[in-house]
Amino acid sequence: RLILGIESSCDETGVALVRVRDAKARPELLAQALHSQIAMHQAYGGVVPELASRDHIRRVLPLTQAVLQQAGVALSALDLVAFTRGPGLAGALLVGAGVACAMGAALDLPVLGVHHLEGHLLSPFLGADPPEFPFVALLVSGGHTQLMRVDAVGSYELLGETVDDAAGEAFDKSAKLLGLPYPGGPALARLAEGGRAEAFKLPRPLLHSGTLDFSFAGLKTAVLTQARKLGEDLPAHTADLAASTQAAIVEVLVKKSLAALQQSGLRRLVVAGGVGANARLRAQLDAACAARGLRVHYPELHLCTDNGAMIAMAAAMRVQAGLARPTRDYAFDVLPRWSLQDIAA
Ligand code: ATP
Ligand code: MG
Ligand code: FE
């Protein structure tokens, strides 16, 4: 069976093709293509929803053709078209959903709406070192920061989450304060390489709260206060401030992940989402888990941020688990706000 996956929830258009050989074997990624709108949105300092939708329209068919060509697969050979149904920007989601359902109608194929966060969560299964269930998942993206207990595909128990900003948002907003271009996360991480993590004392909110919740909104205020205090001297200290900001975010993510592992008694951690690409986070999680005899799994670096492969993979794994309900009803809708726990039957 061949599953086409289309991602268009935010500022990346992603298309990918996954093959499911049988009910047991891990689905294989045959081809994928991605177009990032980062350069287009950079002038505005963030994603402009209307521009995002329009660009998805321009990109999605050429990307689909590229993927089919790469894989040497004809359109007529597809068995299922999966798309991101939410959460995300409504107009952007509608493009992927509309195209997927139009393809379904034209080719008489079933379609399946996929949860974007389930895509992130299952993205490590695309790599060379796929995890086994059960595990604790640390989902750290631009819009979400959650710890979950994952017992199987479709079984996602929320253990804790951010009460305000997401970790990616904390990176992005702090980066903006330091004058870095959107999206700030990777830029801040790069700048931090030349700085000292202990240079500035920044808060670690909720670190000792005893819960598995996070709070990052106070951090950007602390960064702003620090930047104002430095005044004209800020340019000489941006690397130190970036390093200290990154250290604060990473320390909280690592400590809460370890606490979640300890409380749940599970011995495996899976990291997913854009912030999962962060080198300091990976190094500290690797060290902490190795010291405790715990395993940690990541998506491949290029699959941490949004992509079509994770959407095709999530669809494939739901189909294999018998959880998917592909449909020939092409009257699609999208769910801009949609909690992952709401799909766990
Ligand atoms: P969501 O998945 O919650 O809807 P999203 O799709 O915008 O949000 P992702 O694509 O998973 O989020 O990740 C983007 C986020 O990851 C951005 O906030 C970006 O700054 C951050 N990010 C990417 N690379 C790094 C890095 N190396 N270090 C820190 N943050 C990073
Ligand atoms: Mg993005
Ligand atoms: Fe995402």
pLDDT recorded at residue 1 = 95
Burial of 271 (0-12, 13-18, 19+ CB in 10 A): buried
Confidence at residue 345, expressed as pLDDT on a 0 to 100 scale = 46
3-state secondary structure of 307: coil
Q: Average pLDDT in the 99-109 region?
A: 98
Q: What's the 88 CA to ligand 3 centre distance in angstroms?
A: 8
Strand partners, 16: 5, 32
Best of 305, 310, 334, 338 for a ligand 1 pocket test (most atoms within 8 Å of beta carbon): 305
Ligand of minimum distance to the alpha carbon of 299 = 1
Instruction: Summarize the confidence of residues 226-248 as an average pLDDT.
Output: 97
Query: Distance (Å, rounded) from C-alpha 298 to C-alpha 258?
Result: 16
Choose between 113 and 23: higher pLDDT: 113
Q: Which of 10, 7, 311 is nearest to 172 (CA)?
A: 10
What pLDDT was estimated at residue 344? 56
The burial of 143, by beta-carbon neighbours within 10 Å (0-12 exposed, 13-18 middle, 19 or more buried), is given as middle
Pocket around ligand 1 at a 6 A CB cut-off: 10, 88, 116, 120, 141-144, 168, 171-172, 183-186, 189, 273-275, 277-278, 305-306
Is pLDDT of 292 > 70?
yes
3-class DSSP string for 84-98: EEECCCHHHHHHHHH
Which residue has its alpha carbon closest to ligand 1 atom 2? Answer: 141
Tokens of 233: 């001297």
Q: Tell me: the pLDDT tens digits for 171-193?
A: 999 999 999 999 999 999 999 99
Percent of the chain at pLDDT above 70? 99
278 annotated to bind ligand: yes
Query: Annotation-wise, does 111 bind a ligand?
Result: no
**pLDDT tens digits along 300-325:** 999 999 999 999 999 999 999 999 99
What's the gap in Å between 232 CA and the centre of ligand 1? 30
Q: How far is the CA of 304 from the centre of ligand 3 (A)?
A: 8
Specify the pLDDT at position 321: 96
Distance 256 CA to ligand 3 centre (A): 21
pLDDT tens profile 198-234: 999 999 999 999 999 999 999 999 999 999 999 999 9
| Cβ 308 vs Cβ 296: under 8 Å | no
